Chain A
Amino acid sequence: MTENIINIEHIAKVYTIGDVKVHALSDVSLRIDKNEYVAIMGPSGSGKSTLMNMLGCLDTPSSGVYDFKARNVSLMTDNDLAAIRNKEIGFVFQTFNLLSRSDALHNVELPLIYAGIGSSERKERAKQALISVGLEDRIHHKPNELSGGQRQRVAIARALVTNPAIILADEPTGNLDSKTGEEIMLLFHEIHKKGNTVILVTHEEYIAKHAARIVRLKDGLIEKDELVPNRYIPNITAAVSENQTD
């Protein structure tokens, strides 16, 4: 029996823009269990981003039920949502979204600050997270002193540092060249292998193929929810050697 993390039943999201009601999500039901590797795909306007915001507890549905680890998120207050995001969800964004004035260590420490964890433990955990993404020699570099791939690694370390229930990555390779993108996908592969739950939001078939399961959205509905038969496993040795020549 696998542990259920996300259980969505018939959620909808309606935005009112002026007098027009826009159904970003019409009727979506989805279940994601522990240690799954799911890609959410869809063209723009499919409701992909809205679903991601919902899964990431950045937004609440207009109707339907969203249970996160058996807790009803739909009814939560802003502060409760913030607490869930802090402890249970690790975000990885396309544009990295690091704080430009802070070094890598402080960026990774940030979620722990908001979790109220003491300075020495915080620094140690942040350091470990940076080591786990291969940035032990970049700890005190600021984002503008890092390459795109390295910045995304800092962002991944920041996502991992709280040991969240899910890693939610929104087009994580969108701003990277294909080689660096592949390295990042390898990192996600490893993170998943360690027992983490990874949710990937992308519009690229090639990236989605890294996941074990693909959920395809169209016009606010789930068009297809399928397992990937020929899953793409990143070439570890190639990626590692590339990483070393970096």
Chain B
Amino acid sequence: MVRNINLFLFEMKEGFFIALQSIRANKARSFLTMLGIVIGISSVVSMSTAIKGIDNSFQKGISSLGTDVLYLDKWAWFSNVEFWKLRNRKKITMEQYEKFKSLAVLPLAVAPVTNSRQTVKFENSSVENIFLNGSNSDYVKTTNFTFDMGRFYNDIESKASREVAVIGSEISKKLFPRGDALDKTIKIGGISYRIVGVLSEQGSFILGSFNPDNQVFIPIGTIFKHFAGDMFSTITINIRAQSPALVQETKIEAEGVMRKVRGLSAEEENDFSINQQEGLMDNYNKVVGVIQIAGLFITGLSLFVGAIGIMNIMFVSVKERTKEIGVRKAIGAKRRAILGQFLMESATICLMGGLVGLVIAVLLSLVINRFMPTSIQVSAVFTAIGISLLTGVLAGLAPAYTAAKMDPVDALRYE
């Protein structure tokens, strides 16, 4: 048994040695063959790091929505109902919010939210297209906000509709590179606001234009006061359950309470929607799952083409070395040894190609990282090595088998 293992190791070592020799002897050919694997592995690895990067960033971003928060809205995030039906729903008003808040007993916090796209200015610099949110002081209780500086506006400021603002980390970075945003006065739509708090970074939300770090919060009364108009005619009610376990009950209660507030009779359908992160997550997973499969399939194809190149060159190599195979068999190489020799050769070519491909993928992902988030995984490195070895073995199998089953007499006679 030990002897057999030893023999196997010798043969492997000999195979590796022969592989290096033959790669060295056919440099140009080996290089071109390897190129297929280099391209295959680098595209598969780049693709998977990109997908992982998007995924990580999305997960981080979506976690800012909170798993225990419900969003009671006129609009549904995902629905099969026709758009016009949703549009014809009655708006949700502040009065309805107040009624809802007094009737619902399960939520930890309930806050009205409305928003608008605005430009925020400080002295000569500005950030365009930010989310300007109006809410009350309860809003912070529906989130997991942490603050780099300051605080959320309080109940008094909120009720009095003062010109105070809480800004997201990205806005702070852009307008106040020195990190001295607190108590500064910014202008939004010509009105001045005093910054009372700066939020900590929450992570970018890559899909879609929503970026949780690119928001400004002001009291809801203030937003109504300065940005009156139709676009603020409906509000969203953010409802936070006491715990993730109570989300479902809270949702059921919220539905009942809202039906009452909206005065719906028993046979009428809901004229509002209760949205939650879960739905978003499901949809995201569906979309990304498709991207993932399609992406890996396409990049996998390039690896497959590379593998065909390897197989082709291995057939050539076997043919060329027919006589050598005959000699090796004559002096006692068993089928297994010949098989191992050629498998080793194709695995070595693939492994070298795989390692080069990996280096290229890492460099590539560093470049891509400037435009979109990527994430190089240690597992991707091992997967790449594993895949290239596997490709080598699979691509080498048919040629190596051809070599192994050659008749020694014919092989020796071959010129």
Beyond A79-B334, A101-B25, whether A113 also contacts B412 by CB under 8 A is no
Q: How far is the CB of A44 from chain B (nearest CB, A)?
A: 13
B327 at the interface (CB under 8 A from A): yes
Beyond A59-B409, A78-B335, whether A97 also contacts B323 by CB under 8 A is yes
Partner of A53, one of B3, B324, B332, B409: B409
What chain A residues lie within 8 Å of B21 (beta carbons)?
101-102
Q: Which residue of A lies closest to B14 (CB)?
A: A113
Beyond A58-B409, A97-B412, A113-B11, whether A118 also contacts B6 by CB under 8 A is yes
What chain A residues lie within 8 Å of B326 (beta carbons)?
97
What chain A residues lie within 8 Å of B10 (beta carbons)?
113, 116
Partner of A91, one of B22, B330, B407: B330
Alpha-carbon gap, A59 to B406, bound state (A):
12
A30 at the interface (CB under 8 A from B): no
B324 touches A83 (CB 8 A): no
Q: Which residue of B lies closest to A98 (CB)?
A: B327
Q: How far is the CB of B277 from chain A (nearest CB, A)?
A: 63
A65 at the interface (CB under 8 A from B): no
B231 at the interface (CB under 8 A from A): no
B14 touches A79 (CB 8 A): no
A56 at the interface (CB under 8 A from B): yes
Partner of A114, one of B4, B331, B409: B331
A82 touches B332 (CB 8 A): yes
What chain A residues lie within 8 Å of B6 (beta carbons)?
116, 118
B331 touches A111 (CB 8 A): yes
What chain A residues lie within 8 Å of B409 (beta carbons)?
53, 58-59
Digitize A70-101: 1 where CB-to-B-CB distance is under 8 Å, 0 elsewhere: 00000000110011011100010100011101
Alpha-carbon gap, A79 to B408, bound state (A):
12
Beyond A101-B25, A113-B10, A116-B3, whether A58 also contacts B334 by CB under 8 A is no
Digitize B331-375: 1 where CB-to-A-CB distance is under 8 Å, 0 elsewhere: 111111100000000000000000000000000000000000000
B60 at the interface (CB under 8 A from A): no
Alpha-carbon gap, A99 to B341, bound state (A):
14
B329 at the interface (CB under 8 A from A): yes
- Contacts of A181-199 to chain B: CB distance below 8 A: none
Partner of B333, one of A59, A82, A91, A93: A82
Number of interface residues of A (CB under 8 A): 27
Alpha-carbon gap, A82 to B332, bound state (A):
5
What chain B residues lie within 8 Å of A162 (beta carbons)?
332
Q: Which residue of A lies closest to B337 (CB)?
A: A114
B103 at the interface (CB under 8 A from A): no
- Contacts of A34-77 to chain B: CB distance below 8 A: 53, 56, 58-59
Of B4, B327, B409, the most chain A CB neighbours within 10 A belong to B327
B151 at the interface (CB under 8 A from A): no
A14 at the interface (CB under 8 A from B): no
What chain B residues lie within 8 Å of A236 (beta carbons)?
none
B252 at the interface (CB under 8 A from A): no
What chain B residues lie within 8 Å of A83 (beta carbons)?
332, 334
Alpha-carbon gap, A114 to B7, bound state (A):
7
B328 at the interface (CB under 8 A from A): yes
What chain A residues lie within 8 Å of B330 (beta carbons)?
56, 58, 85, 91, 97
Q: Which residue of B lies closest to A118 (CB)?
A: B6
What chain B residues lie within 8 Å of A82 (beta carbons)?
329, 332-335
A228 at the interface (CB under 8 A from B): no
Beyond A97-B323, A101-B21, whether A115 also contacts B332 by CB under 8 A is yes
What chain A residues lie within 8 Å of B25 (beta carbons)?
101
A58 touches B408 (CB 8 A): yes
B332 touches A85 (CB 8 A): yes
A131 at the interface (CB under 8 A from B): no
B324 touches A99 (CB 8 A): yes
A213 at the interface (CB under 8 A from B): no
Q: Which residue of A lies closest to B323 (CB)?
A: A97
- Contacts of B1-57 to chain A: CB distance below 8 A: 3-4, 6-7, 10-11, 14, 21-22, 25
Beyond A58-B409, A97-B412, whether A114 also contacts B333 by CB under 8 A is yes
What chain B residues lie within 8 Å of A111 (beta carbons)?
331-332
Beyond A53-B409, A58-B409, A102-B21, whether A116 also contacts B7 by CB under 8 A is yes
Alpha-carbon gap, A87 to B187, bound state (A):
93
Alpha-carbon gap, A148 to B357, bound state (A):
45
Alpha-carbon gap, A83 to B328, bound state (A):
12
What chain B residues lie within 8 Å of A97 (beta carbons)?
323, 326-327, 330, 412
- Contacts of A211-233 to chain B: CB distance below 8 A: none
- Contacts of B371-388 to chain A: CB distance below 8 A: none
A151 at the interface (CB under 8 A from B): no
What chain A residues lie within 8 Å of B336 (beta carbons)?
79
A85 touches B331 (CB 8 A): yes
Alpha-carbon gap, A115 to B6, bound state (A):
10
A28 at the interface (CB under 8 A from B): no
What chain B residues lie within 8 Å of A114 (beta carbons)?
11, 328, 331-334, 337
Q: How far is the CB of A165 from chain B (nearest CB, A)?
A: 13
- Contacts of A14-28 to chain B: CB distance below 8 A: none
What chain B residues lie within 8 Å of A116 (beta carbons)?
3-4, 6-7, 10
Closest 10 CB pairs between A and B?
A86-B332, A116-B7, A114-B332, A82-B334, A97-B327, A111-B331, A101-B21, A58-B408, A85-B332, A79-B334
Which residues does A use to contact B, with CB under 8 Å? 53, 56, 58-59, 78-79, 82-83, 85-87, 91, 93, 97-99, 101-102, 110-111, 113-116, 118, 158, 162
Given contacts A99-B327, A116-B4, 7 further A-B contacts (CB under 8 A): A58-B330, A78-B335, A82-B329, A82-B333, A91-B331, A110-B328, A162-B332
18 A–B contacts, CB within 8 A, in A order: A53-B409, A56-B330, A79-B335, A82-B333, A85-B332, A86-B333, A93-B412, A97-B412, A99-B327, A102-B21, A110-B331, A113-B11, A114-B333, A114-B334, A116-B3, A116-B10, A158-B331, A162-B332
